[in-house]
């Protein structure tokens, strides 16, 4: 019996090991692709021209793509077209009746919506690829003909984006965690070593500034962990129920609601919404510094008032929008009513739905303010105090911490689930269940 239990446990942990190995292999492939350059570009000259714009919008794109934009690799535009397409499709599904109907069709409707998202990803990737090719041509670092360079760049960058989309789906299905979030996290984490080296260089010049940055980052990490662990527990009572000849006593429990129900989706969506138009404006308007395209692109740079306001507004909007997508108070109230549960002092049905909606709206308000504050603190420090927070901004730090916490939680839940299954497969448990 002991040998059977040990072999069962090894097989379960073996499955977890396979998933982790697949995840590591997929991220390794992602990092290899980040170093494969698009043909026809002088890499050394491109790196020199990139240094002047590293602290602006291009710096954020480069961070999310894991340094691919700086090297102009096949993953230069990263997974952002897919994220932008997902935003557009989700917004459209709340407005267009046809997409609303598809959402109600279950798995079949979800597959059709996913197909539309992929089509939108291809379209946005083509547009961003043309913009990236035009920007690189303006830098004078292309060693191939213009027509040949446009064709090769569009093909390579669109293929790279679609491959990353497929890789993220494979990680979600065959690995552990959300594949897209893990790819973005891996890209951000790849810039940590260079950030640490720059921190040591700063320490040689200004030790007080370097120590202040380390303390500030640690405090922000603590704040993120604290708020991400915060919950609002709504008490729930189950009435007495008769089961056969016996009566099951009522139970008292609670429903946990996280303060930040939207996770890292709002800052990612907000960054994608702002980065896409601002990048295109900066690329196409760089030839004419007196034109309106260049002026608008300048106003959307880091530290500018317009950028800070738009960033804060879009984060708050997507906090409410994504929470409304994942949480339905009417459905939860109906499920409570069917299971014989109720919230003390609240009548089942419509009143319970309104009460839950009020609770979630309040939590979303505080969660949105918390996320906005974390994302904007480095912006103010960089602009006002000139603290070099460019490599690890609030958005990057939030994504790193939240995705890491979620990844750890999923591993623990995966292990607990398989331990429970192995316990139920024990011979003595089977005999007890038969009796």
DSSP state of 250: P
269-287 per-position pLDDT tens digit = 887 777 766 666 665 555 5
H helices of 34-106, where? 43-51, 57-64, 68-71, 80-95, 97-103
Q: Do 384 and 397 have their domain in common? A: yes
Q: What's the whole-number average pLDDT of the chain?
A: 79
State which residues form the domain around 201: 191-435
Given a contact cutoff of 8 angstroms between Cβ atoms, the answer to whether 353 and 167 are in contact is: no
The stretches of 285-393 forming alpha helices (DSSP H) are 292-299, 305-326, 329-338, 350-384
Asked which of 190, 221, 242 is the last residue of a domain, the reply is 190
Same domain, residue pair 55 and 180: yes
Domain boundary among 160, 190, 220: 190
Q: What's the CATH code of the domain at 127? A: 1.10.3370.10
Q: Which residues of 34-53 are buried (b: 16+ CB within 10 A; e: fewer)?
A: beebbebbbeeebeeebeeb
Whether residues 109 and 66 fall in one domain: yes
Do 200 and 178 reside in the same domain of the chain?
no
Helix (H) or strand (E) holding 341: strand 341-342
401 vs 279, higher pLDDT: 401
Beta bridge partners of 234: 255
- Give yes or no: residues 280 and 236 share one domain: yes
Q: Are residues 275 and 287 in the same domain?
A: yes
Label residue 6 by pLDDT band (50, 70, 90): very low
For residues 172 and 216, state if they share a domain.
no
Say yes or no: 269 and 378 in one domain.
Answer: yes
Alpha-carbon distance 33 to 68, whole Å? 8
Q: Is residue 183 within 8 Å of 27, Cβ to Cβ?
A: yes
Q: What does the pLDDT look like over 246-269, one tens digit per residue?
A: 555 667 788 888 888 888 888 888
Overall domain count for the chain: 2
Backbone angles phi and psi of 289, in degrees to 5? -70, -15
Of 190, 210, 237, the position where a domain reaches its end is 190
Q: Please give the torsion angle defined by the CA atoms of residues 412, 406, 94 and 127, in that order, rounded to the nearest 10 degrees.
A: -130
Q: Are residues 94 and 201 in the same domain?
A: no
- Of 174, 121, 177, which Cα lies nearest the Cα of 413? 177
233 occurs within a structural domain = yes
- Taking the CA atoms of residue 199, residue 203, residue 206 and residue 208 in that order, the dihedral angle to the nearest 10 degrees is 90
- pLDDT score at 110: 83
Model confidence over 25-39: pLDDT tens digits?
999 999 998 888 888
Among candidate residues 82, 96, 76, 56, the one with its CA nearest the CA of residue 297: 56
Q: Does 193 have pLDDT greater than 50?
A: yes
87 lies in the same domain as 169: yes
Instruction: Verify that 163 and 209 share a domain, yes or no.
Output: no
Inside any domain, residue 287: yes
All residues at 6 or more sequence positions from 433 whose CB lies less than 8 Å from its CB, including other chains: none
- Distance (Å, whole) CA 79 – CA 218: 28
SS (H, E, C) 160-176: HHHHHHHHHHHHHHHCC
């Amino acid at each position: 019996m002991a040998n059977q239990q040990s072999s069962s446990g090894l097989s379960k942990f073996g499955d977890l090991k396979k998933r982790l190995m697949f995840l590591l292999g997929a991220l390794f492939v992602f990092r290899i692709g980040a170093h494969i350059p698009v043909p026809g570009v002088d890499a050394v000259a491109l790196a020199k021209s990139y240094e002047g714009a590293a602290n602006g919008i291009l710096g954020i794109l480069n961070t999310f793509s894991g340094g691919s934009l700086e090297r102009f690799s096949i993953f230069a535009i990263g997974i952002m077209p897919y994220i932008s397409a997902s935003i557009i499709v989700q917004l459209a599904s709340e407005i267009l009746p046809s997409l609303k109907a598809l959402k109600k069709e279950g798995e079949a409707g979800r597959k059709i919506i996913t197909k539309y998202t992929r089509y939108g990803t291809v379209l946005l990737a083509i547009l961003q690829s043309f913009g990236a090719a035009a920007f690189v041509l303006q830098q004078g670092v292309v060693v191939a003909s213009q027509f040949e360079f446009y064709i090769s760049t569009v093909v390579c960058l669109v293929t790279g984006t679609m491959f990353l989309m497929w890789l993220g789906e494979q990680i979600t299905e065959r690995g552990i965690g959300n594949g897209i979030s893990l790819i973005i996290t891996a890209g951000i984490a790849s810039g940590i070593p260079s950030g640490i080296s720059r921190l040591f260089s700063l320490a040689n010049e200004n030790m007080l500034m370097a120590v202040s940055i380390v303390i500030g980052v640690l405090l922000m990490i603590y704040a993120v962990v604290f708020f991400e662990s915060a919950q609002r527990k709504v008490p729930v009572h189950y009435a007495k129920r008769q089961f056969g000849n016996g009566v099951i006593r009522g139970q008292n429990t609670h429903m946990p609601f996280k303060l930040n129900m939207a996770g890292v989706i709002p800052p990612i969506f907000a960054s994608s919404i702002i980065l896409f138009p601002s990048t295109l404006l900066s690329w196409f308007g760089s030839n004419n510094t007196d034109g309106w395209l260049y002026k608008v692109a300048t106003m959307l740079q880091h530290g500018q008032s317009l950028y800070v306001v738009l960033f804060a507004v879009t984060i708050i909007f997507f906090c409410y929008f994504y929470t409304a997508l994942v949480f339905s108070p009417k459905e939860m109230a109906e499920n409570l009513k069917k299971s014989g549960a109720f919230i003390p002092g609240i009548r089942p049905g419509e009143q319970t739905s309104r009460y839950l909606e009020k609770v979630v709206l309040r939590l979303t308000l505080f969660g949105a303010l918390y996320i906005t504050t974390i994302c904007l603190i480095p912006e103010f420090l960089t602009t006002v105090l000139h603290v070099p927070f460019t490599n690890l901004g609030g958005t990057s730090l939030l994504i790193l911490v939240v995705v890491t916490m979620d990844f750890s939680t999923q591993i623990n839940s995966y292990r607990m689930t398989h331990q429970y299954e192995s316990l139920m497969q024990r011979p003595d448990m089977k005999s007890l269940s038969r009796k």
